[in-house]
Homo-oligomer: A and B are copies of this chain.
Amino acid sequence: MKTSIPSTMKAVVLTKNGAQPEVAIIPVPQPGKGEVLVKMAFSPINPSDLAFLKGGYGIQKPYPVVPGFEGSGTVVKAGNGVLPKLWLGKNVACAASPKLNGCWAEYMVTTAASCVPFSKKISMEQGSMLFVNPMTALAFFDLYRKTPNPSGKTRGIINTAAASALGQMIIRLGKQQNIPVISVVWREKQISLLKNTGAEFVLNSSDPDFDTELKKLAHRLNATVIFDAVGGEMSQKLLSAAPKSSSLFIYGRLSGDTCEILSGELIFTGNHIQGFWLTNWLHEQGMLKTLLNIRKIQSMINTELKTNIHLQFQPEDISEAIETYTGNMSKGKVLLRF
């Protein structure tokens, strides 16, 4: 396949920490050894992108920088190496390289190892969201299984910010594996949204009796594995509600940067607290397990790991796209279309 590749392209660019992202015309990059050039089709806005835009993310790149951690597209040029040549001409899901510009551009160079060709049953839109959320959902169930369970009893999961794309995947995977999932949302209308998609246990943290209800439910379902994207006061609320010897994984900080943890409780309850970052988890898994996980994801991308798409935007409308996404996260993903 031959495609004529222009010398410049449209890209969303962040010129400095905290600036508004804007569209600029910049040179199309060249793939080096082990790398490919992807003509981008779609790229979602994820919470991790929002954190990156604010400068508060685990990966920082020199400015000016193109944001966007994942997307889909077609490999139009290959650098040296077996894998790049193998991907040439294929439709791939791709993740940005930690050292290079990201996905929010007409073209992106990334390592061939960060690309996975996907089957024709998967649309380019769904293909653009193969990595971040589905992989995080698989990671959570992997952590669930690896968390020691001395009692041997079935344990439940608690997840917060549960109306998100990820939250919905966790509900579906829980059903599939007969693991009860308590979804914590913060708006009344999100309850019916989740119940309509099959969620059994949904609590609204804005309800006055939330603490009591969560405690009752968490004890009834032995919900000792907790995933929290909210932080702030929520983390301690979750720990106080959960049975003893629970494990709290903090993976976001929607309500601010500081978690207030009661050390008195922590000492006597045997609870554990740790952070979760997909990048660290993938690193621990290694290449082979990741490839197996990608396979698993492809087999479930139209069912358990499906993502609802709310709207699509052109790169020129990046500000509106971000606003639409942040104001209506539970309506579904916002995609950039290139």
- A contact set with B: CB distance below 8 Å: 56-58, 231, 235, 250-253, 257-277, 280
Contact = CB atoms under 8 A, between A and B. Distances in A.
A272 B82 CA distance: 40
A272 B250 CA distance: 11
A235 B261 CA distance: 10
Q: Looking at A235, A258, A264, A271, which has the most chain B CB atoms within 10 Å of its CB?
A: A264
A267 B248 CA distance: 12
B274 A271 contact: yes
B253 A257 contact: no
Helix, strand, loop or mixed for chain A's interface? mixed
19 contacts: A58-B268, A250-B266, A250-B267, A253-B267, A257-B262, A257-B263, A257-B264, A258-B260, A258-B263, A259-B261, A259-B262, A260-B260, A261-B261, A268-B275, A268-B277, A271-B274, A271-B275, A272-B273, A272-B274
- Those 4 A-B pairs whose CB atoms lie nearest each other, nearest first: A58-B268, A266-B275, A267-B275, A273-B273
Contacts of A270: 274-275, 277, 280
A56 to B, nearest CB: 6
A159 to B, nearest CB: 16
B275 A251 contact: no
B273 A266 contact: yes
A47 to B, nearest CB: 11
Contact of A235 (B251, B263, B265): B263
Most-contacted residue by chain B among A58, A252, A275 (CB, 10 A): A275
A118 to B, nearest CB: 29
Contacts of A267: 58, 250-253, 275-277
B275 A269 contact: yes
Contacts of A266: 250, 259, 273-275
A275 B251 CA distance: 20
A250 B239 CA distance: 15
A258 B240 CA distance: 13
A226 B258 CA distance: 20
Nearest to A276: B267
Given A231-B263, A271-B274, 10 more contacts: A56-B264, A57-B268, A58-B268, A250-B267, A253-B263, A258-B261, A265-B275, A266-B275, A268-B275, A271-B275
